[in-house]
Chain A
């Protein structure tokens, strides 16, 4: 099973700053099957990025994804107040889906 490790665990930033979230896989992941989700307290997750770098419908362009192989990155170019949340990466391979443990982006 592919294990996804996200870092850092918590990111303390101010609105307007840039956020860089990392997702590292224990073995190579097809970029087509790497996605990022945002979850706010008391809400279900929602997809932000699929195929490692494609923004989902309605997602602002301040969110971008990049990477390949075992290293993937979610970047939020300028944090808005509504962006403070937990972010998860997720992959599919060999009839298994796995999530990273999450990165919390909190207000500094």
Chain B
């Protein structure tokens, strides 16, 4: 079945770096755009970044622009998020999600189970 599995979360000090991975299976990875969405503890969902299926187009939320980099390896069916200059406010569960485009519209489906990133000294 279609599945996304995130990894790489953990505890990091302010100013530090971390790289998240999202392994995909059950669909043609190279045909879909992908997102990272985060959720701070007890808070709502915040879109972080998007990468198109070919990796040539990327968009970022203003809150992470210049600090985070999204990338993908279509030969490994894996999505990445390189996070630099981390701040306490980056603490969140990070989800990867496939961008599904239908006859009408576009939506996030499915989502991975998430990986927790904690920025703390």
Contacts and interface: CB of A to CB of B under 8 A. Distances in A.
A99 B107 contact: no
A63 interface: no
B25 interface: no
B114 A33 contact: no
Nearest to B50: A97
Interface stretch (A17-25, A47-55, A73-81): A47-55
Contacts of B95: 44-45
Given A35-B107, A44-B114, A100-B44, A50 B59 contact: no
Interface stretch (B14-22, B82-90, B98-106): B98-106
Contact of A50 (B35, B102, B112): B102
- Name, among A44, A90, A96, the residue most crowded by chain B CB atoms within 10 Å (CB to CB): A44
Interface in B46-64: 46-47, 50, 59, 61
B110 interface: yes
A62 interface: no
Nearest to B4: A44
B27 interface: no
A24 to B, nearest CB: 15
Interface residues of A, number: 28
Contact of A56 (B50, B109, B112): B109
Contacts of B107: 35, 47, 50, 56, 90
Contacts of A30: 105
Contacts of B113: 44
A54 B110 CA distance: 16
- Name, among B44, B45, B106, the residue most crowded by chain A CB atoms within 10 Å (CB to CB): B45
Given A98-B47, A102-B44, A90 B59 contact: no
Interface of B: 35, 37, 44-47, 50, 59, 61, 95, 102, 104-114
Which 5 residue pairs across A and B have the least CB separation, nearest first? A51-B104, A44-B111, A51-B105, A32-B105, A97-B47
